Amino acid sequence: MALTDLIHEVSKVVPTSVKEILSDPSGVFSSILKSVNMSSASGSANSAWSSQEGHDSAIPGCAPVIIALVAIIPILYLLFRDTKAKVFLKPTEFQDLPLEYKEVVSHNVRRFRFRLPDEKMVVGLPTGSHITIAAKDVDGKDVMRPYTPVTDDTSKGYVDFVIKVYPTGKMSQCMERLDSGDTLKFKGPRGRFKYQPNMKKAIGMIAGGSGITPMYQVAQAILRDPHDFTKVFLIYANVSEDDILLRKEFDAWAQDHGKRFKVYYVLEKPPPDWKGGVGYISKEMVHEHLPLPNEDVITLRCGPLPMNKAVEGILDASGFTKDMQFEF
């Protein structure tokens, strides 16, 4: 068989799209090798392999391997030429995103999904960073607030925020009024905390109310990475049990990653059968549920200003130096 004929046989089974390759790579390569083997077998029994056909049309014994490489190299090029996803965020420029849908999680909690311009695009937010969202209030005045999404760059084409709606919250009220297709402006990434896998052996987290989202983001990145062995200890304070955000996710992590993730809930107004903490975060709770202070530990905090101040005092008194603390 002539070289051009054999290439033609292989080309019959080479897919024309990267999606087809990704969906069944083993099938693609099996088809290629099968085609090559069949062509080789046919050629060995055919007089076309004899020198009678001339030097240009004869195929040496290693030709099947060469032909396979000829077919595979373009495929590998297609696979790896554009593996880096496009990033949406720009640090100095606001960009519009439309609301895809709004989900009612509880009486005062909503999950907002905003659609990115391209289904293969990622938001481009490093772990530990946040996004600035801008809107107009009912009087047409500018409102800006920092928010941490609950999705990361493993989610393509969209970004999700879980937000507590406050009666007097300017931005949360702006978002509550949104309908599908309405837009807000987004800019980032922002923030001073840059998480790196295994940067500490253990991370303590203290969160209050909607201050839980940065903790969720960091914990999610840690538990999702099989090469990150950091242990996470979370104390999460709220007024009532209904106020606990992302509880389903935290409880699942505690069950699935019991040796690496622990959560302790604290309620100001607990139900009668409550088995968690009661009241405000105390020095005793910190000692019992967070790792002890040392150079391989950092404790993060995020919540209302009074809580942050109180927790800072507790951590200082417990032996955590300033280098062992970070406030979002």
User: Is 50 exceeded by the pLDDT of residue 22?
Assistant: no
Catalytic residue, from 127, 130, 174, 299: name it.
130
The residue from 236, 289, 299, 302 that is catalytic is: 302
CATH number of the CATH domain containing 165 = 2.40.30.10
Residues 238 and 164 occupy one common structural domain? no
The total of other beta-carbon atoms located within 10 Å of residue 141's CB is: 9
Given 148, 151, 230, 299, the catalytic residue: 148
CB contact at 8 A, 146 and 152? no
Per-residue pLDDT tens over the stretch 101-126: 999 999 899 999 999 999 999 999 99
CATH label of the domain that carries residue 323: 3.40.50.80
| Whether residue 314 sits in one domain with residue 211 | yes
pTM of the model: 0.74
**pLDDT, tens only, 251-309:** 999 999 999 999 999 999 999 999 999 999 999 999 999 999 999 999 999 999 999 99
Residue 196 lies in a domain: no
Pair 116, 175 in one domain: yes
Host H or E run for residue 303: none
Is residue 91 a known part of a binding site? no
171 is in an annotated binding site: yes
Residue 256 resides in a domain: yes
**Percent share of the chain, pLDDT over 90:** 73
How many domains is the chain partitioned into structurally? Answer: 3
Q: Catalytic: 257?
A: no
Check residue 17 and give its pLDDT. 46
195 part of a folded domain: no
Are residue 168 and residue 215 in the same domain, yes or no? no
Indicate whether 21 pLDDT > 90: no
Q: What is the dihedral of CA 280, 286, 288, 294, to 10 degrees?
A: 180
Residue 271 near residue 241, CB atoms below 8 Å: yes
Model confidence at 246: pLDDT above 60: yes
- Flag whether 285 is marked binding: no
Among 190, 220, 251, the domain-final residue is 190
pLDDT at position 85 is 86
Active site residue 147: yes
Question: Which of 127, 147, 195, 299 is flagged as catalytic?
Answer: 147
Write phi, then psi, for 220 (nearest 5 degrees).
-60, -45
213 is in an annotated binding site: yes
**Residue 28 pLDDT more than 50?**
no
pLDDT digits (tens, 9 = 90+) for 128-149: 999 999 999 999 999 999 999 9
pLDDT at 315 over 60: yes
Active site (annotated) includes residue 174: no
Distances (CA, A) of 293 to 8, 115, 143, 189, 260: 68, 42, 39, 30, 18
pLDDT of residue 49: 41
Residue 145 assigned ligand-binding role = yes
* 170 marked as binding residue: yes
Residue 8 annotated in active site: no
